[in-house]
Amino acid sequence: MVGGCVRDLLLGREPKDFDVVTDASPEEVKKVFRNCRLIGRRFRLAHVFFGREIIEVATFRGSDDFANERVHENGRLLRDNVFGSIEEDVWRRDFTVNALYYNIRDFSVVDYVGGMEDHQAGILKLIGDPVTRYREDPVRMLRAIRFAAKLGFKIHPESEREIPDMANLLENIPSARLYDEVLKLFISGYAVQTFEMLRHYDLFSALFPATDLSLQLETDGFPRLFLAKALENTDLRINEGKSVTPYFLMAAFLWEPVQSAAKEKLKQGKHGAIAYQEAAREAIRFQVKHTAFPKRVGLAMTEVWTLQGRFSHRSGVRAYKLLGHPRFRAAYDFLLLRAETGGADPELADWWTKFQVANQAEQGKMLKKAAGQHRNKRRRPKKSPKSSKQSIATKD
């Protein structure tokens, strides 16, 4: 066994999965296990299935005299199907604490690169030259942040020094792969720390450029307060053993860019619902160039956003239709989040909290009262600027 499972066991944690390495080729592994599937193009792997469990089996990686033929002009590895020995394999791994091998034959930990020492010191250190290793695979910068936040480790000075200057290399990574990394980063129970570290090392802008721009323009803590609260709630749910839907988190990340675009469209005279729908499409179209989430995620995000405007319509038919919408719960949670951070009326959020659990008679009374308040609000005469000044003067 190698990598995260060994690292986590040494920390007294229960590993989420186990990775196995062997001198057998993927084809040889498949001959041994009928319930095996070979995957991967850059590096061939064997997935051995045991019910719902998957054991990933990799062949020891080796060095290659023709490595330059497999490297992009920016230094990124394109193919990596060269097999070798365990002594060669260790130098192909990313961090020293992830290069610890547990030999089940004699129950020993094999360490070639000082991983045990770094593990005990709580240090995350790249194996080899940081510039070369980050160029080989820029995602290693994201992995450094993820492991540091998850394990509470410090990134070694030599390994962290180059990150801000090399963050732009993430632009060369397929956007679909970056979406997978985003899920690992933010749905692990350490989203708040991860978010702060990504911004500190200038990596967040590579993942969410529109959101990063909106954070630079924040006023009185907005929208950063909203996003931070969303990440905090995500961590809380995970730590309580509850599920987290990726589309809700993505909707929180892009909420401020959507709002900004919608406001511009409203100024142009477009109807509220249409303005938000167009803004949502534009935000998603831009975002998928950086993190290409599945279409179903984008559709769910759009529904959560567009339903926000419908919460203010508390008439009988509209209220019941909204209550029965498949995305009501997610949209309602989003409303609560906005209300907590000053982006929505707390009274409105409280009304919907009570309405969804009330019986039919109570719901009828609530709807009648809300309708009366709405009519009174519409009938209330607006004071002219002149009369306002007179009343203020009289009061003074």
Q: Which among 17, 23, 165, 350 is annotated as catalytic?
A: 17
Alpha-carbon gap, residue 304 to 298, rounded angstroms: 10
Q: State the burial class of residue 87 (Cβ atoms within 10 Å of its Cβ: 0-12, 13-18, 19+).
A: exposed
Is the separation of the CB atoms in 159 and 126 below 8 Å? yes
**Would you list the DSSP string of 139-160?**
HHHHHHHHHHHHHTPEEPHHHH
Give the residue among 156, 160, 259, 164 at the shortest CA–CA distance from 202: 164
Residue 137 designated active-site = no
Q: To which residue do tokens 């708040």 refer?
A: 192
Strand partners of residue 59: 22
Is the separation of the CB atoms in 191 and 235 below 8 Å? yes
Q: Which among 8, 19, 64, 202 is annotated as catalytic?
A: 19
Q: Which positions ≥6 away from 259 have C-beta within 8 Å?
A: 223, 279
**Would you list the DSSP string of 260-295?**
HHHHHHHHTT--HHHHHHHHHHHHHHHHTTTS---H
Alpha-carbon gap, residue 263 to 52, rounded angstroms: 47
Q: To which residue do tokens 């200038």 refer?
A: 202
Is the separation of the CB atoms in 24 and 45 below 8 Å? no
Alpha-carbon gap, residue 305 to 256, rounded angstroms: 11
**Max CA separation in the chain (angstroms):** 94
Residue 19 designated active-site = yes
Quote the radius of gyration of the chain (alpha carbons, Å).
Answer: 27
Residue 129 designated active-site = no
Q: Which positions ≥6 away from 193 have C-beta within 8 Å?
A: 149
Give the residue among 330, 164, 325, 346 at the shortest CA–CA distance from 246: 330
N-terminal to C-terminal alpha carbon distance within the chain: 80
Residue 121 tokens read as: 């010191």
Number of Cβ atoms within 10 Å of the Cβ of 133: 21
Q: Which among 80, 94, 118, 212 is annotated as catalytic?
A: 94
Give the residue among 168, 198, 170, 166 at the shortest CA–CA distance from 185: 198
Residue numbers annotated as active site: 17, 19, 94
